[in-house]
């Protein structure tokens, strides 16, 4: 079995799909009685004269758009139009077109969609439900959540829009509608229920806690809307679980609470800024729970707290087990990462931890990861083992951009030039330089000073993906 993004399908070949690697998922489930009760309530409302979703569907449908993108062939991206003219214009026929979906969330033409829908696009067109077409520009994207924000080129017109609702109000068994543009056939509505909440480790994003639904979601639905029966926008359709690439009733949507913060941050900053906790740890599985003497698995045991971080200032300590954040259960690290990402910067959060068998509440004031110390990005040269490598001071902000946990200040390798001394030594992007000839390296300044010292050989200590590597090279 594979996870398959309900991907933008290439308009020239509607049966090409992307299949990320399968990963096991955990979720909060309810019993069948709860689901039956929810369905009974829905049926009661329908019999009472409120056709499910019909009164809201027309309004919602006007806000769901088809996203059409064009990608230039790779040769034209690198060599430009002169390449096309020189070789007789044959590349024009190879322009790639693909389709996806999007939701208008601001009346001034702001559209939210999936990052994988517009990734690599040279031209973006938003096609409204009434068949009008508008060019759009990319305001910003967030690969970690697989979301992107577009701005339609309007001439002062106000468009219908859907507000991103509070997705925490959803419960398993609630009826939902999926609206999008599957296979490019045009706007399509399918219905189903919320099958599960807080699905993690689905494998299509870094920040993840997906809504699972059995509403049919197919290729081309990516970026479309998941609508509650009362018309609220509760999610952005993103992925399916499938053997064939088509829907088998297991679809996933990004919760609106996460999408709201991503959209707000991109519109305000041009990029996504998430709260920084300043603590890292390990999910408490069954084996670890037994070792810690816990009744059941769940939570995150804190293994490191960065000095002067929000966690440190709030009183979080190594050994604490994080149980909940603002009243929401923390099942594992992915859930903790997601819950943090839904909290606006500058706000405070209440965290419940298990400390020595006693539950304790602490309050954290959340802030963006600081860009301190300064990165001091430097490309090194000369007759020394790091020549040709670009390095920088690793700080919390850079660690967030590189999708790494920040533990302490370090020097990290950002790039290694081809056919350079650094490349021949075996240096790799992402390596942290720990020591050089016995000297501890904690900043670019220290590294620059140490490589200028005369030496007939160099002993290097690196941290590569958590493994400590040591090697000695001569001049």
373 cis-preceded (ω within 30 degrees of 0): yes
* Among 146, 320, 332, 334, the one annotated catalytic: 146
Q: Which CATH class is domain 1-273?
A: mainly beta
CATH topology of domain 279-365: Pdz3 Domain (2.30.42)
Domain range annotation of the chain: 1-273, 279-365, 378-474
- The reply to whether CATH 2.40.50.840 applies to domain 378-474 is no
- Neighbouring CB atoms inside 10 A of 360's CB total 15
- Neighbouring CB atoms inside 10 A of 384's CB total 21
Pick from 174, 273, 162: nearest CA to 225: 162
> Left, alpha or beta for 346 (phi > 0: left; psi -120 to 50: alpha)?
left
pLDDT at 210: 87
pLDDT at 96: 55
The CA distance from 367 to 273, in Å, is 9
- Neighbouring CB atoms inside 10 A of 454's CB total 5
Task: Tell me if residue 14 falls in helix, strand or coil.
Answer: coil
pLDDT at 18: 34
CB neighbour list of residue 299: distance below 8 Å, 6 or more residues apart: 283, 284, 321, 322, 323, 330, 331, 332, 354
The CA distance from 237 to 221, in Å, is 7
The CA distance from 160 to 58, in Å, is 11
> Could you say which DSSP state residue 287 is in?
H
Q: Is 19 a catalytic residue?
A: no
pLDDT at 155: 86
Answer whether 238's CB lies under 8 Å from 253's CB: yes
* Among 101, 116, 142, 320, the one annotated catalytic: 116
- Neighbouring CB atoms inside 10 A of 178's CB total 28
The CA distance from 375 to 443, in Å, is 9
pLDDT at 216: 80
* Among 222, 242, 247, 387, the one annotated catalytic: 222
Q: Is 24 a catalytic residue?
A: no
Same fold, 279-365 and 378-474: yes
Crossing angle for the helix pair 256-269 and 333-341, to the nearest 10 degrees: 50
Each residue's pLDDT, cut to its tens digit, for the chain (475 residues) gives: 444 455 544 444 332 333 333 233 333 344 444 444 444 544 444 443 344 556 667 677 778 888 888 876 544 444 455 545 555 554 444 455 667 899 999 999 999 999 988 888 888 999 888 888 999 999 999 988 899 999 999 988 889 888 898 988 888 888 898 888 887 777 888 888 888 887 766 655 677 788 888 888 877 888 888 998 888 899 999 887 766 666 667 888 999 999 999 999 999 988 898 999 999 999 999 999 999 988 899 999 999 999 999 999 999 999 999 999 999 999 998 889 889 999 988 899 999 999 998 999 999 999 999 999 999 999 999 999 999 999 999 999 999 889 888 888 899 999 999 999 999 999 999 999 999 999 999 999 999 999 999 888 999 999 998 899 999 987 6
pLDDT at 24: 33
Exposed/middle/buried for 448, CB within 10 Å: 0-12, 13-18, 19+?
middle
* Phi, psi for 200 (deg, rounded to 5): -120, 165
Residue 102 C-alpha from the chain's centroid: 17
Token pair, residue 408, equals 């302490």
pLDDT at 259: 93
Task: Tell me if residue 112 falls in helix, strand or coil.
Answer: strand
Answer whether 352's CB lies under 8 Å from 320's CB: no
The CA distance from 330 to 326, in Å, is 10
pLDDT at 243: 62
Q: Is 324 a catalytic residue?
A: no
pLDDT at 77: 43
């Amino acid at each position: 079995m594979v996870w398959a993004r309900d991907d933008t399908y290439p308009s020239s070949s509607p049966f090409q799909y992307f299949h990320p690697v399968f990963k096991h998922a955990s979720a909060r489930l309810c019993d069948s009685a709860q689901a039956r009760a929810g369905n009974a309530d829905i049926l009661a409302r329908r019999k009472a004269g409120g056709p499910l979703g019909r009164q809201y569907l027309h309004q919602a449908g006007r806000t769901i758009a088809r996203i059409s993108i064009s990608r230039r062939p790779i040769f034209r991206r690198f060599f430009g139009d002169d390449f096309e003219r020189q070789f007789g214009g044959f590349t024009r026929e190879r322009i790639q077109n693909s389709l996806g979906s999007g939701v208008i969330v601001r009346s001034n033409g702001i559209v939210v969609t999936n990052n994988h829908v517009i990734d690599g696009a040279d031209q973006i067109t938003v096609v409204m439900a009434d068949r009008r077409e508008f060019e759009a520009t990319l305001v910003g994207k967030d690969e970690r959540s697989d979301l992107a924000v577009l701005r339609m080129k309007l001439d002062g017109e106000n468009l219908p829009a859907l507000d991103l609702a509070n997705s925490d109000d959803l419960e398993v068994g609630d009826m939902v509608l999926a609206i999008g543009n599957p296979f490019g056939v045009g706007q399509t509505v399918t219905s189903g229920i919320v099958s599960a909440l807080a699905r993690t480790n689905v494998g299509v994003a870094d920040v993840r806690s997906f809504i699972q639904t059995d509403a049919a979601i197919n290729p081309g639905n990516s970026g479309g809307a998941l609508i509650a029966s009362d018309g609220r926008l509760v999610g952005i359709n993103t992925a399916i679980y499938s053997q064939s690439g088509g829907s088998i009733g297991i679809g996933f949507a990004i919760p609106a609470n996460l999408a709201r913060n991503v959209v707000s941050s991109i519109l305000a900053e041009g990029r996504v800024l998430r709260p920084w906790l300043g603590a890292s740890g390990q999910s408490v599985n069954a084996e670890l729970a037994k070792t810690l003497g816990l009744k059941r698995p769940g939570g995150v045991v804190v293994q490191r707290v960065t000095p002067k971080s929000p966690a440190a200032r709030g009183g979080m300590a190594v050994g604490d087990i994080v149980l909940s954040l603002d009243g929401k259960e923390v099942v594992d690290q992915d859930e903790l990462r997601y819950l943090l990402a839904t909290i606006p910067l500058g706000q405070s959060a209440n965290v419940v931890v298990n400390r020595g068998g006693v539950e304790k509440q602490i309050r954290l004031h959340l802030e963006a990861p600081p860009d301190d110390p300064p990165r001091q990005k430097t490309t090194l040269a000369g007759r020394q083992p790091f020549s040709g490598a670009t390095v920088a001071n690793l700080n919390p902000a850079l660690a967030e951009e590189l999708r790494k946990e920040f533990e302490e200040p370090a020097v990290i390798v950002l790039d290694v030039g081809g056919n350079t001394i650094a490349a021949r030594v075996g240096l790799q992007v992402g390596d942290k330089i720990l020591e050089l000839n016995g000297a501890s390296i904690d900043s670019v300044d220290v590294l620059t000073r140490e490589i200028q010292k005369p030496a007939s050989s160099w002993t290097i200590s690196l941290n590569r993906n958590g493994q400590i590597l040591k090697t000695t090279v001569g001049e």
